[in-house]
Amino acid sequence: MTAPTDARRRGVRLDLPDSRRVSIRYDGRHLPAFEGEPLAAALYAAGVRIFNRSLKYHRPRGLFCNAGYCPNCLVRVDGTPHVRACTEPVRDRMEVESESGWPSARFDLLAVLDQLGFLFPTGFQYRYFTRPRWLYHRWEWLLRRLAGHGRLGVDPPSPAQRSSLTADVAVVGGGPAGMAAALAAARAGACVLLFEAESALGGGLRTEPRPVRAPALYDGLPGVELVARLATEIERHPAISCHRRALAFGYYADGRLGVAGPGTFLSVHAERIIVATGSYERPMVFDGCDRPGVFLASGVRRMLHLWRIRPGAAAVVVTTSDYGLAVALDLLNAGVTVRAVADTRDWTSREPDEARRLRQSGVTVLPGHAVLSVAGRRSIRAAILALTGPADRATAWKVPCDHLVVSGEFWPANELVFHAAYRGSHVLRAEAHPMRPQIEREGLRAVGPVHIAGNAAGVGDLVKALLEGTIAGLSAGIALRGATPGAAWELEDAVRALAAIHEASHGR
C-alpha cells in the first residue's frame, strides 16, 4: 500500500464520524469538524500540528498523550483558558484560540528563547536583578507578561449544578478493573456508584482490537466487544448508577470524594471506594523528545481506534514492551507505513508474536535498539535509532518518518490512594509511601476504606485487572452487606485465581 508523504494532502481520517458536520473557528480560520468528536481530532484532521508553545522556551508542541494528562494540547475555548483539546468535545461554532506563542502557537516570534536557553538555567529568577530594585520591578513586569498565558473570557460560564450523592461503594474508573468491581460489588448486594472520566466506559480496552484473554465468559472476544458486553450489564443493573464524563478529583479526609463533570459538581460519600483509575504512560527522555510528531503509544492507539485518525503517513515505533509492537501493528492495519520498529529489549531467543507478524509484513524490526534523537523542529522528519547501551553514533541509523511513537513503561495512576493515605506530615518517608501502596492480598485494600484494582494497583494484564476488580468489589460488598454464600465462594475463587497468576509470574 503506497503512502504519499504529505499526510495532510492524503487526509488523515480513516473514516468519518457519524455525527453532524459543524464548523469551528481556530485562530480566526473556519475549520470543518464533527459534533462531539474530540477537538484535538478535528484540529489534527484539519492540519493543525503545533498546538502549543512551551512555557519557558516557546518550543513547538504537538499532540502527545491524547488522554488529558499532558500539557501539550491546551487551547482557549469559548473564553475558557487551558482546555485540553484531546478531551473536549466539539460543539458547533466553537471559538478556539491557541494560547501561547506570539502572535500564535503556529508562528511564534518568541521561539528565539529556545536558542537563549543558556540565559535561563533553572533558578535563574533568583540570581538575576538582586539589585537595583527598580530594575527588578521592570523585569518582573516583563516576566509576568511572558509567563501568564491563560486569558479569561469576560462572560460568565453557564451555571453549574452541585449535588450530594451517597452509596455503599464508589468505583472510580470504568475500565476493565472498574467495571468488574462495580458488577462484583453489586452482586454482593451493595449499592454502587461508578464514575468514569471519559465519555464511554472501557478504559484501555476501548483501544484494544485484538482478542483478549479473559476468565470465564468473555475469553476470545476483541477488547471492544468485551467492553460493550460489560457496559450493557452495568447500564442494566438496578444497583449501579453509572456517571460518565465524571472525574473524581480528590479523596478527602472526611471520607468524601469530589467529582466533577461538565456543568456538574458532585460531593460523594461512600462507605468504600475502589480506585481503578488505570495508569499513565511514561515518556522517553531523548533529544527532541518533546517535538511535534512524537507520540505516546497509548495516544496513538486512541487516535486510531477512538478518533479514527491516522497520525501521519510514515511512522517509526520505539518500544520497551509488547504494547508498542501491538501499536505498530495497529498502525500498519490503518495504512501507515511503518519504517522501523526499535525494541529496547534484546530478545534473541524468544521473538514476540507481534514482532514476527511485523517482520512478516515487511517491517524492519530492531531488537536491542533505542531512539537517540529526532530531526526536525516544528515537526519531526526522521528518528535516529541506535543500539542500546553506550550511545554509539557510528552505528546510528537515521530513519525518515513524520511521526515517532514511543512506548515506555506504564505506571499507576493512584493519586486518590495517596490522598487517602496522606496523614499530613511534612515529609512522607519512603517506607510508608502511598505511591507504592502496601496492598492487602485479600480485598486489595490500600488504606482505610480505599481498595485498589487493575493497573492503578500495579501495571499488569487484563486478566489481573478483571480479577482484582472482582476481588475488590466482592470484598467491599461483603464487608458492607454481609457474605452471601454465592459472593463468598466467588471471592475465594477469584483470590485463588489471582494467587495462581502471582505464583506463575514469580516462578518464571
> In sequence order, which residues have a C-beta less than 8 Å from that of residue 294 and are 6 or more positions away?
62, 64, 288, 374, 380, 403, 404, 406
Q: Which is nearer to another protein, 405 or 495 (CB)?
A: 405
* Min dist. Cβ of residue 164 to another protein (A): 5
* Min dist. Cβ of residue 323 to another protein (A): 16
* Min dist. Cβ of residue 391 to another protein (A): 12
> In sequence order, which residues have a C-beta less than 8 Å from that of residue 411 and are 6 or more positions away?
279, 280, 282, 459
DSSP lists the bridge partners of residue 365 as: 341
Q: Which three cell numbers stand for residue 50?
A: 503545533
Q: Which is nearer to another protein, 220 or 250 (CB)?
A: 250
Q: Which is nearer to another protein, 175 or 223 (CB)?
A: 175
Choose among 74, 112, 274, 98: nearest CA to 184: 274
* Min dist. Cβ of residue 123 to another protein (A): 6
* Min dist. Cβ of residue 489 to another protein (A): 36
d(CA 477, CA 492): 14
* Min dist. Cβ of residue 103 to another protein (A): 15
Sign of CA dihedral 477, 478, 484, 490: positive
* Min dist. Cβ of residue 222 to another protein (A): 29
Q: Which is nearer to another protein, 135 or 499 (CB)?
A: 135
Please name the residue that has the C-alpha cell 484535538: 40
Choose among 41, 9, 42: nearest CA to 23: 42
N-to-C CA span, the chain: 41
Q: Which is nearer to another protein, 318 or 478 (CB)?
A: 318
Hey, how many other C-beta atoms are within 10 angstroms of the C-beta on 119? 9
* Min dist. Cβ of residue 508 to another protein (A): 22
Burial annotation 267-279 (CB, 10 A radius, 16+ → b, else e): ebebbbbbbbbbb
d(CA 378, CA 357): 33
Q: Which is nearer to another protein, 17 or 299 (CB)?
A: 299
| Interior angle at CA 110, CA 109 and CA 114, nearest 5 | 125
Under a CB-based contact definition with an 8 Å cutoff, are residues 456 and 413 in contact?
A: yes
d(CA 274, CA 251): 11
* Min dist. Cβ of residue 66 to another protein (A): 13
| Interior angle at CA 133, CA 128 and CA 139, nearest 5 | 55
Q: Which is nearer to another protein, 59 or 272 (CB)?
A: 59
* Min dist. Cβ of residue 416 to another protein (A): 7
Q: Which is nearer to another protein, 203 or 477 (CB)?
A: 203
Read off the DSSP letter of residue 103: B
Choose among 234, 289, 260, 39: nearest CA to 162: 260
Q: What are the C-alpha distances in Å from 446 to residues 106, 170, 193, 432?
A: 46, 15, 19, 12
Under a CB-based contact definition with an 8 Å cutoff, are residues 39 and 307 in contact?
A: no
Q: Which is nearer to another protein, 145 or 506 (CB)?
A: 145
Q: Which is nearer to another protein, 397 or 418 (CB)?
A: 418
Q: Which is nearer to another protein, 61 or 310 (CB)?
A: 61
Choose among 171, 235, 280, 37: nearest CA to 227: 235
* Min dist. Cβ of residue 95 to another protein (A): 13
Choose among 84, 77, 75: nearest CA to 52: 75
Choose among 60, 77, 49: nearest CA to 150: 77
* Min dist. Cβ of residue 152 to another protein (A): 5
Identity of the amino acid at 216: A
Q: Which is nearer to another protein, 83 or 303 (CB)?
A: 83
